[in-house]
Chains A and B, each alone.
Chain A
Amino acid sequence: MTPGGKALAEFVAEATEILDALGRDLLALDEARGQEADPEHINGIFRAAHSLKGLSGLFGQERISQLAHAAEDLLDRLRLGRLTLDDGVLDTLVDALDTFQALLGEASRTEEGPELTQRTRDMEDRMARLGSPPPAVEEDPLERLELDATVRAVFTEYEEHRLRENVRRGVALWRVRAAFDLTDFDQGLADLNARLKPVGEVISTLPSSRPGGANGIAFDLIFGAKVAAPSLEAALRGTPAELAPLAVRPPQEGAPGPAFDVPRPPPEDVDAELLPPDTDEEAPDEDAEPPGGSTSLATVPVPPIGSPPRMRAVTPPPTVVGLQAAASAPLPAGRPKTEETSLRSLTQTVRVDIGRLDGLINMVGELLLIKANLQRLAETSRQDGTVALSKLFGQELSRETRQLERKLEALQEGLLEARMVPVGQVFDKLARLVRKIAREAGKEIDFVSSGGEVELDKLIVEELSDPLMHLIRNAIDHGAEGPESRLAAGKPRRAVVRLRAEQKGNHVVISVSDDGSGIDEVRVREVALSRGLVTPSQVSEMTRRELLNLIFLPGFSTRASVSALSGRGVGLDVVKNNLGNLSGIIDVWSERGKGTAFHLTLPVTLAIVRALVVGVSGRTYAVPLNSVLEILSVQPRDIRTVERREVLDLRGQTLPFLRLGRLFHLPEHEVNRHFVIVVGLAQQRLGIAVDELFGQQDIVTKPLGGRLSRVKGISGATDLGNRRTVLVLDVAELLEEGIAQERRRA
């Protein structure tokens, strides 16, 4: 890579991390719409924008830097309480994140499209225009706080603002002083922070200039407590912390009270303790006046708490209501439709747990030991010259070889594991998207995701994001009904869209489901017929499941047909192809009035697979073992022909049968028995006839270049060692082919 390319990759990697962090905080804010925002999330987003600005400035990424600057300004106003976080602001931030992602995408390709430049400028303007009148002037609450001016001098503007807010609300303020050993004070402070966070806000952490002994260091934490003194003391029991209240004098006579009352949701379990310490019995040991005691908290409204952990889409703006059911609904003016920017991440990096890497290093160490042993054996045999090698020597050699094999296997496994990432990485991004699409479509959606911890190869996770985005968009746009239609159908007002991942053996099944109106298979049949995708005689024999599967045919789905269908289909054939490239398949289930579910079955990894090596008409092929269910030995007479297609009876079930030789137009010769490899993915099964079975081997599939890459039934080539290169069968495509043959012959 060129130095420039390397720098760019580094920029993209770090910017991606920043945007991910920003996205997480933004999602948290979005989920808590209508409640008072947690200052930590706003500050998190601010910090992200700030870092992004610095970073992109360093790399000369002007557009990103300028937009980050605008975002930072907006967030700074928010953070410092000069702007209220309302829906408009939140929507702007969500859109800004999209714009950042698009910009980063172009940057990674060293492009600079004029369209995006315009969009960036519009976004900057939009952010600059946002604003609410500043709150009425009042006496600076900080003046009422008895805090040494030298302490105040080290507060950043933000910390000062947080302190001011706490004073204004009459929150009891404390100075928490703790001394630690210099070697591990960060752990001590982390512990202290963990105890303090649930009971209030740590406003600032100040290293004390008074050294805490020879090898120690003392810190002052300025803390706003949500609980009374005894609870705070209880929380700090066992730590070296000493508490001292910071005195606040009451507001001046006649001075206005808080200019605006921002409700702050208290933690559920401390309602009773929310009042400031007001009597001696509750006062801390210190002799000072109870802090904040003179400012009443009684007027602070307590908003409803305990919002459900799932996501709630916000009630759409009035302009959108009423458009809900129509899939082709025009979008409200002034709100451009979400561009389908890819959610795929822009970096090729995988973050690996250091423990895993250490494990790999250990294994390499063990391999080196084995190598030393083998070297010794080689040396011995050379010295012995022509003397026949002893049996003992042979045993030793084979023992070392076995060791080597075991260690190599472990190393391979370890490396594969290092490629694994939780699918939750994509789920988080999709969650953000759901809220946005739902708002645009005027639907009320609860999005529930589970199984985010299931791990898949990084490559697969990346490639999955776009198909999942399509499916989710379909579920919201076409699956879920609008609130009114749902109520009319006797369903709950809010539709549920579920995203679930589950590990099943060597495969991971990811499903996207909704509880909407389902797919009308009668309409599917009509559309497929009218488009000439199937013949009337074919559809007459199709089961409901087969009819539903017609929606994946290329040419089936267009916007027009889909909206008329209350159905689905923004490029479902594309989704299917994407999955095929990952050796995965897609399956649909749907029931009228109850909903639709898409199941994606995927291998856990693509990097190294175990394969069955087989022979057909003198040629050798590899079949990935993860899709092989069983192997049968079949007499020619077991093969029946039903409606001009060959089938096998397998334990009472009819199994479609495919002669590999015939498919690849190889010369066929009479055999007295076939080996039939039964392959299957999800619900589909197929028997593939081969002449010979050679054994199993680990293979790394390499793609075929050029025109060869489009050969049906072949996913790539692999090297079997001994310089033998063989073709690897594409089981998903063969399953396809088997079913297509059924259709053609029907």
Chain B
Amino acid sequence: MKFKVLIVEDSKVSREHIAATVEAVDGVEAVTTASGFEALKLLPRQRFDLIITDINMPDINGLELINFVKKNPNYRDVPLIIVTTEGREQDRSRGMALGAAGYLVKPFQPEDLEALLRRFLKPL
């Protein structure tokens, strides 16, 4: 069975870049969405093994998504990775404080993301 990764990112190009990187890893499937709202809708319907989320998004921010996931007994075990651009240390540290498992700083190298995937999706 494949691991399923949810990608929440409002920038199309960035989203597709992350999805392509994720899917390049054998045994991993990517589900993408452009907003936090969509993510909230998807969560009860599918089971995800990992969530990758942007922080600055138009509807709810990524921190709120992390908080929602971590407070909900159904999803709280799903690891979350934050994707931010540099210079947003406060947002990043808040995300980690809320329970995110790791972060990536854009622009990132595919290997960085792959390393995170291998860390959180076991056995991969």
Chain A contacts to B: CB under 8 angstroms: 10-11, 14, 47, 50-51, 53-55, 57-59, 65, 69, 72-73, 76, 150, 153-159, 182-183, 185-186, 189, 204-207, 209, 211, 217
**Considering the chains assembled together, what is the distance between the CA atoms of A57 and B86 in angstroms?**
11
Q: Is the CB of B67 within 8 A of A209?
A: yes
Considering only CB atoms, which chain B residue lies closest to A219 in the complex? Answer: B60
Residues of A within 8 A of B106 (CB): 54, 57-58
Q: Are B68 and A54 in contact (CB under 8 A)?
A: no
Q: Is the CB of A58 within 8 A of B17?
A: yes
In the complex, which of the residues A53, A65, A156, A185 contacts B91, with contact meaning CB atoms closer than 8 Å? A156
Name the contact of B68 in the complex, choosing from A50, A159, A207 (C-beta under 8 A).
Answer: A207
Q: Are A209 and B72 closer than 8 Å at their CB atoms?
A: yes
Cβ A209 vs Cβ B68 within 8 A? yes
Q: Which of A53, A155, A156, A183 has the most CB of B within 10 A?
A: A156
Does B12 touch A at the CB level, under 8 Å? yes
Q: Which residues of chain A have C-beta atoms less than 8 A from B11's C-beta?
A: 14, 51, 54-55
Asked if A50 and B98 make an inter-chain contact with CB atoms under 8 angstroms apart, the answer reads: no
Count B-side interface residues using an 8 Å CB cutoff. Answer: 36
Q: Does B46 make an interface contact (CB < 8 A)?
A: no
Query: Is B77 an interface residue when CB atoms closer than 8 A count as contact?
Result: no
A157 x B72 contact (CB < 8 A): no
For residue A73, which residues in chain B have a CB less than 8 angstroms away from its CB?
87
Chain A: minimal CB distance from B56 (Å): 6
A211 to B87, CA, bound (A): 34
Q: Is the CB of B61 within 8 A of A58?
A: no
The B68-110 residues at the A interface (CB cut-off 8 A) are 68, 71-72, 85, 87-88, 90-91, 94, 97-98, 106-107
Majority-rule SS of B interface residues: helix
A217 B72 Cβ-Cβ under 8 A = no
B72 touches A14 (CB 8 A): no
Task: Assess the B64–A182 pair: CB atoms within 8 A.
Answer: no
Q: How far is the CA of A472 from the CA of B10 in the complex (A)?
A: 37
Known: A47-B56, A153-B67, A156-B63. A54 touches B85 (CB 8 A): yes
- Closest chain A CB from B20 CB (angstroms): 11
Q: B88 — which chain A residues lie within 8 A by C-beta? A: 157
B40 contacts across to A, CB distance below 8 A: 182, 185, 207, 217
> Contact string, B37-51, partner A, CB cutoff 8 A, digits 1/0?
110110010000000
A599: min CB distance to chain B, Å: 41
Q: Contact: A157 with B37, CB < 8 Å? A: no
Q: Is the CB of A211 within 8 A of B72?
A: yes
Closest A-B pairs by Cβ, 3 of them? A209-B71, A57-B107, A207-B68
Task: List chain A residues, Cβ under 8 A from B60.
Answer: 205-207
Cα separation A65 to B107 with both chains bound (whole Å): 10
CB distance from B44 to the nearest CB of A (A): 6
Q: Which residue in chain B gives the minimum CB-CB distance to A206?
A: B64
Let me know if B91 and A157 touch, CB within 8 A.
Answer: yes
Which residue from chain B places its CB closest to the CB of A55 in the assembled complex? B13
A153 touches B98 (CB 8 A): yes
Residue in B closest to A184 when the chains form the complex, CB atoms: B41
Q: Which residue of A lies closest to B83 (CB)?
A: A54
Name the distance in Å between A54's Cβ and chain B's nearest Cβ: 5
A10–B10 Cα gap in the complex (Å)? 16
Given contacts A72-B87, A185-B37, A209-B72, contact A154 B63 (CB under 8 A): yes
Q: List chain B residues, Cβ under 8 A from A189.
A: 37, 59
B30 sits at the interface (CB 8 A): no
Q: Are A54 and B64 in contact (CB under 8 A)?
A: no
19 contacts between A and B (CB under 8 A): A14-B11, A51-B11, A54-B85, A55-B13, A58-B106, A65-B107, A154-B61, A154-B94, A156-B63, A157-B88, A157-B91, A159-B61, A183-B41, A189-B37, A204-B61, A205-B59, A206-B64, A209-B71, A209-B72
Complex partner residue of B64 from A50, A57, A205, CB under 8 angstroms = A205
By a CB distance below 8 angstroms, the chain B residues around A150 are 67
Determine whether the beta carbon of A153 is less than 8 Å from that of B13.
no
In B8-56, which residues have CB < 8 Å from any A CB? 10-14, 17, 36-38, 40-41, 44, 55-56
| New A-B contacts (15) at CB < 8 Å, excluding given A10-B13, A207-B65 | A11-B13, A54-B107, A55-B11, A58-B17, A72-B85, A72-B87, A73-B87, A156-B55, A157-B91, A186-B37, A206-B60, A207-B60, A209-B68, A209-B71, A217-B40
Q: How many Å lie between the Cα of A553 and that of B44 in the bound state? A: 70
A207: chain B residues within 8 A (beta carbon) = 36, 40, 60, 64-65, 67-68
Please give, as numbers and ranges, the residues of chain A lying within 8 Å of B14 by CB-CB distance: 51, 54-55, 58
List, in ascending order, chain B residues with CB within 8 A of A72's CB. 85, 87
Tell me, rounded to whole Å, the shortest Cβ–Cβ distance linking B25 to chain A: 19
Q: Which residues of B contact A57 (CB under 8 A)?
A: 85, 106-107
A74 to B75 alpha-carbon distance, docked (Å): 38
User: A11, A53, A209: which contacts B85 (Cβ < 8 A)?
Assistant: A53
Nearest neighbor of B107 in chain A, beta-carbon distance: A57
Chain A residues, CB < 8 A from B72: 209, 211
